[in-house]
Amino acid sequence: MSAPDHARLLRRSLAVITGHQDTGGAYPACPAYPVYRYAWFRDGSFIADAASRAGAADSATAFHDWCARVVTDRADRIGRVTAALGRGEMPDEAEFLPTRYELDGGDTGDSGWADFQTDGYGTWLWALSGHLGRHRVDPAPYREAAALVVDYIAATWNIPCYDWWEETQEERHGATLGALYGGMAAAARAGLADPATAARVTGGIERLVAERGIPGGHLTRSLGSGAVDASLLACMAPFSFVDPTDPVGAATLAAVERDLVEPEGGVHRHLADVFYGGGQWPVLAGFLGSVHVRAGRTADARRELDWIAAQADDDGLLPEQAPGVRLLHPEHLEHWETKWGPVAKPLLWSHAMYLTLADDLGILP
């Protein structure tokens, strides 16, 4: 097999991201997939971070401008949620901020799809803080929106919500807590969050996870569970909730590699994953590679980068799940192909994590 042409695919990845960005600044998760033509704060924040790293500062700024508008347009809604929770009342789920939006910033309406997640808002604070510092962008236009998100996270961080994959709700998830921790810590460092508020939230997350989140010595998919989910990799890189060389981080990485990583490269989401049969995700290979970089395992990180590149089609487009690889539950593949068609492609988040890992390895042009 010939060596991947990383220079070409890295250029292509940035072009895919900027070329599909909406004129208002939002990034569609996948413009060609029927239910991914929306903008997620989580996906979009990782995409914007990759664009920012790759030198497309205007693209990243446009996304952050879009996020700020979305948040400030819902200031009254955030106020109602935080006030109710402050009184000890639980708001109706429809009052919480959604996880996905129309590209114009509007609500998606009653789609029947799980919608209450908090991780995306922590991820946005993290990505915004990094972009402002990297490109010396004036933080003033973002202060109101960031303050609203900080208040919202401070009020909601300990409430069960849907996980990254929008599958399980009545639990508190390791990756969600990691994203909230990383976002609040980054916002405090960037001067976008009151230090005392940020410390109260990050300290609360640390205590909760120490008490309930590491029953086997490693982070778990949800509190009280013994299972791992590859989204936990983000707790190490980029969110720095745990270090991959410390005992909890090392045990978490070892558990993910044991259960979810294929020897030749590629990462499954979790052992019970039946979505398109439970294949391997380039997004997660990117996270794994970044964790390997932090752990000093450069050769392993490069293996994941090469594996991601090998999943691109002849037009340089990366999918959500890799084609023709081992599935955990192949009997479920036909169901999803009949329901929604082939696996989503191009997935902008896949291209973003490829750029991010290349940057972590020091080979981003």
Which tokens is 219 given? 């982070």
Instruction: Select from 291, 292, 305 the least CA-distant residue to 355.
Output: 305
Tell me how far apart the alpha carbons of residues 273 and 230 are, in angstroms, rounded to a whole number: 11
* pLDDT at residue 114 in the model: 66
Q: Which of 115, 119, 163, 360 is catalytic?
A: 163
* pLDDT at residue 110 in the model: 64
Tell me how far apart the alpha carbons of residues 303 and 22 are, in angstroms, rounded to a whole number: 33
Phi, psi of 100, rounded to the nearest 5 degrees: -135, 155
The pTM for the full model equals 0.97
Distance (Å) of CA 72 to CA 67, 146, 180, 349 = 9, 9, 19, 25
CA atoms in the 13 A half-sphere facing the CB of 15: 9
What is the separation of C-alpha 158 from the centre of its chain, rounded to a whole number of angstroms?
19
Q: At 35, which helix (H) or strand (E)? A: none
The burial of 112, by beta-carbon neighbours within 10 Å (0-12 exposed, 13-18 middle, 19 or more buried), is given as exposed
Any catalytic annotation for residue 166? yes
* pLDDT at residue 105 in the model: 97
**What residue has token string 């990505």?**
127
* pLDDT at residue 224 in the model: 87
Torsion sign, CA atoms 209, 210, 215, 218: positive
* pLDDT at residue 109 in the model: 75
Pair 99, 173: CB distance under 8 Å: no
How confident is the chain (365 residues) per 10-residue block, as mean pLDDT?
Answer: 88 98 98 95 98 98 98 97 97 92 90 82 98 97 98 97 90 97 98 97 98 95 94 98 98 98 94 97 98 98 97 97 91 96 98 98 94
* pLDDT at residue 3 in the model: 83
* pLDDT at residue 136 in the model: 97
Q: Which of 119, 273, 304, 320 is catalytic?
A: 320
* pLDDT at residue 1 in the model: 58
Q: Under DSSP, is residue 142 helix (H, G, I), strand (E, B) or coil?
A: helix
Any catalytic annotation for residue 144? no
Domain ranges for the chain: 6-360
Any catalytic annotation for residue 264? no
- What one-character DSSP code corresponds to residue 315? T
- CATH 1.50.10.10 corresponds to the domain 6-360: yes
Q: Which of 166, 194, 243, 306 is catalytic?
A: 166
CA torsion 132-136-141-142 (nearest 10°) is 10
Which tokens is 28 given? 């569609």
Q: Are strands 100-101 and 39-40 parallel, antiparallel or unpaired?
A: antiparallel
* pLDDT at residue 115 in the model: 83
Which tokens is 128 given? 């915004």
Report the interhelical angle of 348-360 vs 41-53 (nearest 10°).
40
